[in-house]
Amino acid sequence: MRMGKLGRPDKRDEAWRAERRNVILASVVATEHGAFVANIVAWFFIAIAAFAMPNADAFVLPVIGRLIALCLNTAAFRHLAKSLHDERAKRLALHLLSGALALGGASWAFQIAPLIHEPTLHPAVIVVGGGSFVAVSLVLSMVGSLKTQSFAFLTGFLATLAVALMHSPTSIGLQTGTGLAGMCAAIVFYAKSASRQRWNAAEMLIQNRRLGERLQSSLDRAEYLSKHDPLTGLYNRRALFETNLIDPEDSRRKYALLVDLDHFKQLNDQFGHVTGDRVLVGVAETFRAILHRLPGKGHFAVRLGGEEFAIVLSVGSEEQARVLAERIRFMVALVAGRIGLQGAKTTASIGLTHFDQGERIDDVFSRADAAMYRAKSSGRNQVRAHAA
């Protein structure tokens, strides 16, 4: 495990390796799935060539064994494909795949064994022997990036081939073994090169994916900040005046509240801007909690700037809007105690007005602003409605 600073495991590296492994597994599974028909066709033609040999009887069991191994390998790959997103199931599927591949490697060597025991110059030897070694090299190149599974396949193939060589005539076994050892070494080097390409492709895919995710995250963040206040998470002034936040299909009467925190500058000077930010966040949370419990979807809160907020309500009457405004004023006054701010008050002056049909939103809040200033001049910590 790669270690980060202070000897702690580098979590990013672990996540990167896990993602890379999943990409490689998905690639191997997809390759095997596409090669299934080719495997059946190859088995069919090799079987025909084997049964055309003078010692055709010696190929009956190897051909049947190869077909069984082919089916088991296909089933193991299908099981792995279904388990890619379940870590526990995937581990079991990989163990099953290792066993199936070991059997598959053994089946290819078992198919070559009659050629070692009874050498012949029949033309079909090229199809059976050459086709088998080509197939082995292709399988190893496909699973070479999976070290355990490729080792299992190669072990099954070499162990069975070694047994076949030990039971062949001494002179033939030595000569054939030397040639086959060279061919196997070439196959392994070819598979290693192919697996390196798969690893590099997986690395590039993950890098591009991570870059795309970071870019999308940055775009989402920029889009969010274009309409939301970064401190409180409420809509910002731009969203209120440049975006149609009000649903024209909502038939309920709409009312606007302009909320200004009383003596907020003094609070900032006395307790500091960090505490002031905590108050603003607490007030925003109060707005969200109240609006969340209201029926309908036409309610939202906006931070206009500093300690000034706007709220739009879709309710049945001005009396209901006034009741809600008083509740907001009461709950804002509790924010200081809720955040543990001793010796401070978090009161608010609120101006209330209604929306007229087709009226510009800045005209609405101009009236709400006038009502709010009357609340300020009348002693603060109160709700004033704009006179119709």
Which of 19, 307, 319, 326 is an active site residue?
A: 307
Residue 5 has pLDDT above 50, yes or no: no
Put simply, whether the predicted model's pTM sits higher than 0.85 gets the answer no
pLDDT digits (tens, 9 = 90+) for 247-278: 666 667 789 999 999 999 999 999 999 999 99
Handedness of CA 237, 238, 240, 241 (dihedral sign): positive
Residue 168 has pLDDT above 60, yes or no: yes
Residue 362, helix vs strand vs coil: helix
pLDDT digits (tens, 9 = 90+) for 53-66: 888 999 999 999 99
pLDDT digits (tens, 9 = 90+) for 345-388: 999 999 999 988 778 888 899 999 999 999 999 999 999 998 75
Q: CA 4 from chain center: how many Å?
A: 24
Residue 245 has pLDDT above 70, yes or no: no
Residue 111 has pLDDT above 70, yes or no: yes
Residue 292 has pLDDT above 80, yes or no: yes
- Give the CA angle between residues 228, 218, 4 to the nearest 5°: 120
Residue 349 bridge partners (DSSP): 260
- Average pLDDT across the chain, whole number: 85
Measured between alpha carbons, how far is 217 from 206 in angstroms, rounded to an integer? 16
pLDDT of residue 180: 65
pLDDT of residue 254: 87
pLDDT of residue 6: 42
Plot region of 5 (φ>0 → left; ψ -120 to 50 → alpha; else → beta): beta
307 tagged catalytic: yes
Q: At what angle do helices 11-51 and 131-143 cross, to 10 degrees?
A: 170
Residue 130 has pLDDT above 90, yes or no: no
Residue 2 has pLDDT above 80, yes or no: no
pLDDT of residue 198: 76
pLDDT of residue 7: 44
Measured between alpha carbons, how far is 93 from 90 in angstroms, rounded to an integer? 5
pLDDT of residue 1: 42
Burial of 164 (0-12, 13-18, 19+ CB in 10 A): buried
| Side chain identity at residue 294, one-letter code | L
Cβ contact 176:165 at 8 Å:
yes
Lookup result for tokens 């079991």: 92
Burial 169-200 (b: 16+ CB within 10 A, else e): eeeebeebbeebeeebeebbeebeebbeebee
Which position has the higher pLDDT, 199 or 223? Answer: 223
Please name which of 296, 293, 305 lies closest in space to residue 246, comparing C-alpha atoms. 296
pLDDT of residue 11: 47
Ranges of each domain in the chain: 5-213, 235-385
Burial of 213 (0-12, 13-18, 19+ CB in 10 A): exposed
Distance (Å) of CA 371 to CA 3, 149, 378: 62, 76, 11
Cβ contact 372:307 at 8 Å:
no
Torsion of CA 223, 224, 225, 227, to 10 degrees: 90
The alpha carbons of the chain give a radius of gyration, in whole angstroms, of 38
Domain covering 235-385 in this structure, CATH number: 3.30.70.270
Measured between alpha carbons, how far is 286 from 283 in angstroms, rounded to an integer? 5
pLDDT of residue 230: 93
Q: Which two tokens stand for residue 121?
A: 């110059």
Query: Among 9-18, 47-56, 254-263, which stretch is predicted with the lowest mean pLDDT?
Result: 9-18
Cβ contact 291:311 at 8 Å:
yes
